[in-house]
Amino acid sequence: MSGLHGLATRALRALDPEDAHGLAIAGLRLGLGPAGGPDDPILASSLASLALPNVVGLAPGFDKDAKVFAPMLRAGFGFVECGTVTPLPQAGNPRPRLFRLSEDRAVINRMGFNNRGLEAFAGRLARRGPGMVGANIGANKDSEDRIGDYVTGLKRLWGLASYFTINVSSPNTPGLRALQTRAALDELLGRLAEARDALPPAGCAPMFLKVAPDLEAGEVEAIVGTCLAHGLAGIMVSNTTVSRPALASRFAREAGGLSGAPLMALSTRVLGEFAQASAGRLALVGVGGIASGEDAYAKIRAGAGAVQLYSALVFEGPGLVGRVKRELAARLRADGFASVSEAVGAN
Round to whole Å and give the CA distance between 326 and 79. 17
Average pLDDT of the chain, as a whole number: 95
For the chain, percent of residues with pLDDT exceeding 70 = 97
Q: Which residues contact 130 (CB under 8 A, 6 or more apart)?
A: none
- Look at residue 284 in the predicted model and tell me its pLDDT: 98
Q: Please count the CA atoms within 13 angstroms of the CA of 288 that sit on its side-chain side.
A: 29
Neighbours of 213 (CB within 10 A): 24
Is 49 one of the catalytic residues?
no
Neighbours of 34 (CB within 10 A): 18
Mean pLDDT for the stretch of residues 53-76: 98
Mean pLDDT for the stretch of residues 12-39: 93
Whole-model pTM: value is 0.96
- Look at residue 204 in the predicted model and tell me its pLDDT: 79
- Look at residue 12 in the predicted model and tell me its pLDDT: 73
pLDDT for 1 beyond 50: no
Closest CA to 73 of 23, 136, 32, 131: 131
In tens, the pLDDT along 150-175 reads: 999 999 999 999 999 999 999 999 99
Inter-axis angle of helices 118-125 and 146-157, nearest 10: 20
Q: Which of 170, 267, 278, 292 is catalytic?
A: 170
For the chain, percent of residues with pLDDT exceeding 90 = 93
pLDDT for 241 beyond 70: yes
